[in-house]
Amino acid sequence: MNDSTRWQGFALRPGDIVISAPSKCGTTWMQMICALLIFRTPALPGPLTSLSPWLDMCLRPVDEVSGTLAAQRHRRFIKTHTPLDGLPWRSDVTYLVVGRDPRDVAVSMNHHRRNLDAEVIHRLLPGSGRAASRPPGDRERVLQWFQDSLPGLVHHLGQAWERRDDPAVLLAHHADLTRDLDGEMRRIADRLGIAVPEREWPALVAAAGFDAMRSRAGELAPDEQLGLFTSNEAFFRSGRSGQWRDLLTDDDQAAYDMAVRALAAPGCVDWLHHGSTIRS
């Protein structure tokens, strides 16, 4: 459902925020954080997918999405699953890249695919064909994700980690957001040059919490108002980390560790698994 060529010819503006993350790393969470910081109220002026369109998503015509973005007068925050090397580059744009432990991504993606309405997607993308068959068990599907998708995720996040000193690049991590949402939102606001009065922070942080977002699934889930999910609430499944420990054997974990360390430098691997090493 993702086509990076849709970025070609798109006109970025000074101050734009491009939220770039692999699927299931916390894209929607970061969109909500940016929305709260930009509008400075939990009462958003529209559905999150309308405020922060997904430009490279193929289910809507690119002219329609580009037109929506061109008409926006607030500071734009644009969703993408395209890595930095596929995006137009401007030094006056902030590229906000969100990382997550790949093992947690694999587990989350397994549940996410169960929640997608295949018939709706096939109707909207009639040339896409039916989804390939998947292994029957949760462990086997996670292992298949490692084989098929781990290299792409590490490429996406690894190149952002390598550019972590670029003033236009801002890294965030799912683990850091979980540990200290208030502190991370303040750090992000500071990097984006957004001033928030102290009295407004408690309500904004509360609105970005997992339970609060799940309670507003109808306006926050990225279903594009197209009915992509069998349940919008199920999109916000748990937000927890470490569930892969209940699935992977010691041999599975050893094989994963060897694979991820072959794809990224040690410092990047440490950040992928734990966050907290980038505090810029």
Of 81, 156, 173, 174, the active-site residue reads 81
| Whole-angstrom distance, CA of residue 172 vs CA of residue 19 | 10
Tell me if residue 156 is catalytic: no
DSSP H or E run through 20: strand 17-20
Q: Which residues pair with 173 in a beta bridge?
A: 99
- 3-class SS letters over 105-137: HHHHHHHHHHHECHHHHHHHCHHHCCCCCCCCC
Strands across the sheet with 17-20, in order?
77-80, 17-20, 94-99, 169-173
SS (H, E, C) 134-191: CCCCHHHHHHHHHHHHHHHHHHHHHHHHHCCCCCCEEEEEHHHHHHCHHHHHHHHHHH
Give SS3 for 194. Answer: coil
Question: From residue 172, how far is each of 99, 239, 259 by CA, in Å?
Answer: 6, 16, 23
In the DSSP assignment, the letter for residue 216 is T
State the Cα–Cα distance between residues 8 and 145, nearest whole angstrom: 29
Q: Which residues neighbour 276 within 8 Å (Cβ) at sequence distance 6 or greater?
A: 173, 175, 176, 179
Q: Measuring CA to CA, which residue among 15, 45, 28 is closest to residue 229?
A: 28
Which residues have a catalytic role annotated?
81
